[in-house]
Chains A and B, each alone.
Chain A
Amino acid sequence: MLDNLVEVKNLKKYFNTPSGVLHAVDDVSFEIPRGKTLGIVGESGCGKSTLGRVSMRLLDSTSGTIIFDGKDITDASGADLKALRCEMQMIFQDPYASLDPRMEVGELIGEPLKVHKVCASKDEYNSTIKSLMDTVGLAERFLHSFPHELDGGRRQRIGIARALALKPQYIVCDEPVSALDVSIQAQILNLMQDIQKERKLTYMFITHDLSVVKHISDEICVMYLGQIVEKSPTKELFANPTHPYSVALLSAIPIPKVNIERNRIILKGEITSPINPKPGCRFAKRCLYATERCFAESPELREISKGHFVACHNI
């Protein structure tokens, strides 16, 4: 099974809180083929960021298996884990908060190189930084600038350069463009696609923005309260959304066109608490089609057409 770079099986991540056990990620399985992009969409609090972090071992899982490049890395530690970090990197959401304000651009990009001692000489170190800046489209004159002197788009380019520094195979992108204006967002998305093609990277792309995820992903998982409710190739999901939550989510996006006919489904209520969830489908409370069975029994992900999985009793 070497064509899947990342495989996650029955992954769970629970947090103990004073009011009970918070099921942030609950029994999630997926695989990402080498060189492809898996999009994870869902609303705030559905566990998408936790899933990204657990999948690259920034957080320890409660149970489940993570297989990376054919090796089980669920319990890797010490030197093994440090070596793994060169293979997997992360791009963070907020380019304002994720960069040390007291480091220059060059130092920021060079930091991972120093930590992992990958450069043999000072010259190699300097030229690697310069070539990384070139890759992400940062002019050399910014080498000694501080993050506060740059705008959001450029800061996010630093974040991308840092993630690329160790030549990883797998990058978790956690809302990398959400904090940016649309004209800059488009520049960054194009850059990320170019780099992916060039370096054959595998992305997990976490976002709440469905139009962005549609643009960049090969396959999409829709998450609701810690669980995957629908998993499908991108085209199929948008042509044929099946889970009632995915349908409502798609219909809720405002489309920048006037005078179009829309069948909007307005969901009642809001996402419920992931602390000590009750048995049954987690979406049942807000679902238009919920039956008694939905409140009693948790639905399983079932394949309804090739590669298209849905967790719903009524499908």
Chain B
Amino acid sequence: MLEVKNLSINYETHEGIIKAVSNISFSVEKGKTLGLAGETGAGKTTTALGIMRLIPTPPGVVKGGEVILDGISLYSLKKRQMRSIRGSEVSMIFQDPMTSLNPVMTIGDQISESLRIHEKLSRADAAKRAKELLELVGIPGERYSEYPHEFSGGMRQRVVIAISLACNPQLLIADEPTTALDVTIQAQILELMNDLKKKLNMSVLMITHDLGVVAEACDDVAIMYAGEIVEYGTAEQIFNEMKHPYTIGLFGSIPKLDEDVDRLTPIKGMMPDPANLPEGCNFQDRCPKCCAICKKQKPESFDIGNGHLVKCHLFSKGGEANA
């Protein structure tokens, strides 16, 4: 469905070149959800904007790579063609439902907007379809002519979802869709998204920092660190057989609900400055298993079986750790 190949995106600023995303590849199958997980500044949102061709230029520059959606290479399209794909074939849900809606437009008009642009529906038809969409996401159709401030956070996120689904996209990019919401509301929204995904047979790219959300919603997982995908595999592979020291550290940092741990085991230090990445592996300074080669040479992604990719020198001989 979606294939991203060797995508690299830089931000070129006065202070230097920031390698926000370097050489990442992944794919999302039809009807499946890929989770893109990582911490602040790992390059998750930049990746999503790169797929949508929405990188602000300047300072953003797409350095190379390809994004292929359903057989079409998006970066070979003209701007006008891209505009017709955006919002109809691919659409995006943003993190903050408070700021992604227009406060002076009724929610009905905001949903109809993309229908009138992409599907060329008449005003009346678009309104009818918008009401159906509201019902689909669990909002009574009568609230069509209300303004965003009349809705709560969870309801606004439902409206944003309704807008993104308006033209039956094949791919939905959800950028931290539940981060701004309370847990009980988050549970409602995740359930809604799962239902809709099944009903409409969409593919979803779910961007989140919450590994709990990943476990719940995703079939495949890519763990990002400092602009690279360090580990990639099915949810079972990542959650049950995690291999990369960063992934292991990430899991060790989370307080567990079902186990009693007196002390957490954090990852020492912080993510390197993306404007000044080290030679060799980006994780070297924080890695408990760092060896001489890690300081000199960037690791490749090694397949350790059944498509489970790990970007770490420890796995260079295709199997168990050899260090």
- Could you list which residues of chain A lie within 8 angstroms of chain B, going by C-beta atoms? 43-44, 151-153, 181-187, 189-190, 193, 208, 210-212, 214-215, 238, 248-259, 264, 266-267, 270-271
8 Å CB contact of B236 from A214, A259, A270: A259
A residues in contact with B263, CB < 8 Å: 190, 193
A residues in contact with B236, CB < 8 Å: 258-259
**Interchain CA distance A153-B40 in the complex, whole Å:** 12
Given contacts A44-B182, A211-B254, A258-B215, contact A266 B187 (CB under 8 A): yes
Given contacts A185-B253, A189-B255, A248-B184, contact A255 B212 (CB under 8 A): yes
Q: Give the total of B residues in contact with A, Cβ under 8 Å.
A: 45
Q: Is B73 an interface residue (CB 8 A)?
A: no
Given contacts A183-B267, A193-B263, contact A252 B257 (CB under 8 A): no
Q: Is B145 an interface residue (CB 8 A)?
A: no
Given contacts A182-B209, A187-B266, A258-B239, contact A214 B255 (CB under 8 A): yes
Given A254-B215, A270-B185, list of 16 further CB < 8 A pairs? A43-B184, A44-B153, A182-B209, A182-B211, A183-B250, A185-B266, A186-B265, A208-B183, A210-B183, A248-B184, A249-B183, A257-B215, A258-B240, A266-B191, A267-B188, A270-B154
Q: Which chain A residue shows the least CB distance to B237?
A: A258
Chain B interface main SS type: helix
A183 touches B251 (CB 8 A): no
Given contacts A190-B264, A193-B263, contact A183 B182 (CB under 8 A): no
- Could you list which residues of chain B lie within 8 angstroms of chain A, going by C-beta atoms? 39-40, 152-155, 182-188, 190-191, 209-216, 235-236, 239-240, 249-258, 261, 263-268, 270
Q: A-B pairs with the 9 shortest C-beta distances?
A: A254-B212, A186-B266, A215-B255, A186-B253, A256-B211, A43-B182, A186-B264, A252-B187, A181-B39
Interface centre among A187, A254, A267 (most CB of B within 10 A): A254
A255 touches B215 (CB 8 A): yes
A residues in contact with B265, CB < 8 Å: 186
B residues in contact with A267, CB < 8 Å: 184, 187-188
**Interchain CA distance A153-B209 in the complex, whole Å:** 16
8 Å CB contact of A252 from B186, B209, B249, B254: B186
B253 touches A183 (CB 8 A): yes
**Interchain CA distance A190-B253 in the complex, whole Å:** 10
8 Å CB contact of B258 from A43, A189, A251, A255: A255
Number of inter-chain CB pairs below 8 Å: 112
A258 touches B257 (CB 8 A): no
Q: Which chain B residue shows the least CB distance to A213?
A: B255
B209 touches A254 (CB 8 A): no
A182 touches B183 (CB 8 A): no
8 Å CB contact of B264 from A189, A254, A266: A189
Q: Nearest-CB distance from B169 to chain A (Å)?
A: 24
**Interchain CA distance A253-B190 in the complex, whole Å:** 11
Q: Nearest-CB distance from A200 to chain B (Å)?
A: 18
A residues in contact with B216, CB < 8 Å: 254-255
**Interchain CA distance A163-B236 in the complex, whole Å:** 43
Q: Nearest-CB distance from A183 to chain B (Å)?
A: 4
B residues in contact with A238, CB < 8 Å: 257
A residues in contact with B267, CB < 8 Å: 183, 186
Given contacts A182-B253, A183-B267, A254-B215, contact A215 B261 (CB under 8 A): yes
A211 touches B256 (CB 8 A): yes
B residues in contact with A181, CB < 8 Å: 39-40, 209
Q: Which chain B residue shows the least CB distance to A153?
A: B270
**Interchain CA distance A187-B268 in the complex, whole Å:** 8
Q: Which chain B residue shows the least CB distance to A42?
A: B182
B257 touches A255 (CB 8 A): yes
8 Å CB contact of B182 from A190, A208, A212, A257: A208
B residues in contact with A256, CB < 8 Å: 211-212, 214-215, 239, 251, 254
